Amino acid sequence: MIEQKPLRGIRVLDLSRVLAGPFCAMNLADLGADVIKIEIPGRGDDSRGFAPRIPNSTDSGYYYSVNRGKRSVTLDLRKAEGAEILLELARHCDVMVENFSPGTMGRFQLGWDRLRAANPRLILCSISGFGQTGPMASAPAYDIVAQALGGTMSITGQPSGEPTRCGVSIGDLAAALYGVIAILAALRERDLTGAGRHLDIAMLDCQVAWLEDALARFSATGKVPGPIGSRHPSITPFQHFRAADGFFVAGCGNESIWQRFCDAIGMVDLQRDPRFVTNADRTANHALLDPILQRHFETNTRAYWLERLENANVPCAPIATVAEVSANPHLEQRQMILHADHPTFDQLIVPGSPLKTAGVPSAPDTRAPDLGEHTDDVLTTLLAYDPARLSDLRAKAII
C-alpha cells in the first residue's frame, strides 16, 4: 500500500521556536505538509544551541528531535523588508504557526489583519502561554509555569513529597497537539467557507483541559485533589510496585481482572476479604491493601511477577528506562524507534510518528535542516527572486 500523506499540497510557514510551535509544525510535516521554517539569520532557532550536541557535529539533538522534515529559510522579521518578504511568502501558504509573545507579530507589522489582507485563506495558529486575550496575555511563560498554574504539578508526585513537574514538557506538548487539531479543523472549515482563521492556543488552557476528572472530584466532593503517587484516584490496584529487583506496574480496571490478578500472584484470599471485594472497597481501603501487596511482591523478581500477570492477561509492564524503550522490538516494528538521517552521526535515535494508517508504512522524514539551507530555493521558486536580489538581501543581513 502507498504511504498516506493527507496534508500533501498544504504549505506551512513555521515562525516558531524551541518546542510548542516546532512540535506542532513537525506533526504537520509528518502528515505530508511542506513546512518552511523561518529562522533568524546567523543564529536560527534558539534550540540550535541547546544540549545535547550530536557527536561529530555542531548540531543540537534537541533541535533535531522537533524540526525533522522541514525546510529552513533565514529571514529577519525585525526589519521592514524582511516582514514584507514574509507577507509575500504568506500569499503562497496555507498555514502559519507562531509562538511569540502576544503582540510581537503586530510589532513586526505582521498582525492578523495584515496577514489576512495579504491572504484571506491563511490560517494563523498562535501558540502562547496564556492566550491572545485576558489579563495574563502578556505575561512570560515556560512549560513549568503552565504545569504549575494549570494544576498539573499539584496532583503529580508522592503524597508526602514536593510538587513535581512531569518528566516530559506536557505544557508545551499539549499546546502543540491542540494546535494540530485546531489547524486540521480550520483547514476543513476553509474547504467549506474559503476563509482562513486566527487560532488562539494557550498552554494554560491546554493544561486545564487535561485535568481529566480532578475538577469533577473537587466540585463533587469539596476536597482539593493532591498528589497520590502512581496510584489512580478511582481504581485500585492501579499503580507501581517494587519487586525484589526493580519496579513494575499493574492495573485492575474491573472485577474480572482483579480476580485474575489475585489468582496469578497466589493471593486468592484477597478475593474474599470484605475490605477488598469491590473496586470501591479497595479504593476506600487502599492504605490497607497497598502494604499487603508490596510485601508480597518484594519476595520475588520483576520478571517472575510480570510473567505470571501476563499469562493471566492482567495489564502490566516493567517501568522501562529510556534505554529499554529504545531497544523495544515492538516499537521498532511499529517504526517508533528511528535512526535520524544525520550527515555525520548515524546513531541518533528519534521517535517515529504515532499517526498511522493500518497496514501502511509510516516512517517520517527524519532529517532536520541546516540553518538557511533552503533560503535561495524557496525565495527563487515561490517568489521568483533572481541571484542579484538574493545577493542584495544577504548583504543587508535580511536573509
Catalytic residues: 232
Q: What are the backbone dihedrals phi and psi of residue 52, each rounded to the nearest 5 degrees, phi first?
A: -85, 150
Q: What does residue 305 show for φ and ψ, rounded to 5 degrees?
A: -70, -40
Residues 371 and 10: their CA atoms lie apart, in Å, by 22
Contact 74, 86 (CB under 8 A): no
Q: Return the H-helix or E-strand segment holding 316.
A: strand 316-318
Per-residue buried b or exposed e for 253-274, using 16+ beta carbons within 10 Å of the residue's own CB: eeeebbbbbbebbeeeebeebe
Query: Is the torsion defined by CA of 274, 279, 283, 286 positive or negative?
Result: positive
Strand partners, 248: 241, 318
193 exposed, middle or buried (CB, 10 Å; 0-12, 13-18, 19+)? exposed
CA nearest neighbour of 68 among 386, 390, 369, 376: 369
